[in-house]
Structure 1
């Protein structure tokens, strides 16, 4: 209010675009836009030139937005690289015990094979002492024949048992490898499901509006085709007269009972 008692209007609060532009210089606007920081993972929409905004101010806001986009891309690339490195380290840590277990199993298998070969040699030497050389004797007694047959049979049994032990060890190692591979596969599937869950939710939320919009456009197209078919009716007076005459002739050709009904 001035000295005479008349009310005065504040230029800053009047709402006039010209007064707002004159009260806010260009340079402070650019500095204010450049000083705004975008949170991590949140990126605003692309800037649009506002009414009454100068080209320099708009280009400044656009440059700031492009800088934020580049920073967001760098953050996403760094996050993806860290995620891949974590997956690689996890896979390496999971495969390291398996490799160590395989090496220990091979070493134990070699030791067991060596022990079996020594035992087989000792039993073979003992059984050969029981075996009777038929070439050095004219005729073998019944006891010597039984002892020789028993020695041969026990030798075959020892060979069979040793072979079965080796085969069982090989099968146990194969089963352990299958179980470890299956465990790693399940762990990998769990990781992929956890990583794909947010992407699947985002994809479904972004695809559903597109499908609805496409269905609406299809409905509009079908309605438009139906409207176009309605234009095939006669539009001039002469065409309408010809159409009425054709309908009248068709009615006259119908039976009397049909017309009355």
Structure 2
């Protein structure tokens, strides 16, 4: 497979690797971007195992809490400018509140606000604001104690990152501290038990190859892998992370000190997982000019 400059740039942007290292990695794995990230990590040349591509979607995440139930809803727009529009913000608030009474995003589309369904409301707003919009995601959480947090709010209860945290015992104040922690660290799961097995296996394979690069005996390598997997859990699982409020404690230990147990969390970030569509500006101009 031909390795293009765009592919090299994408890999460099996602890993922080040098140009020649990125090109070599892609050549070694025949252009497979995910495998190239793993190859660079194995060689110690990647700064982070983050996904390539920048997100294009704009908009807001709204959060609402009522009793022991909380909801987070992502409503997308084409530009960040619309996210600052009061009409758009009012719509996001109404849609989020409606989310408290339904089970999923499909049901949310049919929920009524102001005599119209959410889907109809969004369609009307597209016509008045003149920009495409969509209700992309919704997540609910229930618990004894529920707290929400919006990172850099655009308006009350909405912003670019919305977090919900549920605990058994403890206080809303503590749950909100954990929500702030989640906003900052973006854990992959609550604990090892609910971490995607494929993610763990991929990490184990990378760590195994890294350890073998050291040339140490297999018995030593196995111990190295065990220790590194434990460190991996401490980085990506919420309860095992160092608590940002008190880094001397894990989140689980900090919760125990206040008589709480963290039972769940939700973190929605605007545009998360949507790849940006790269446009050829010169070609677009030529098309407009009839060239």
Same fold (TM over 0.5): no
Q: Which structure has the highest helix share of the two? A: 1
Larger Cα-atom Rg: 1
State TM-score, norm by structure 1. Answer: 0.21
Higher relative contact order (CA 8 A, sep 6+): 2
State TM-score, norm by structure 2. Answer: 0.20
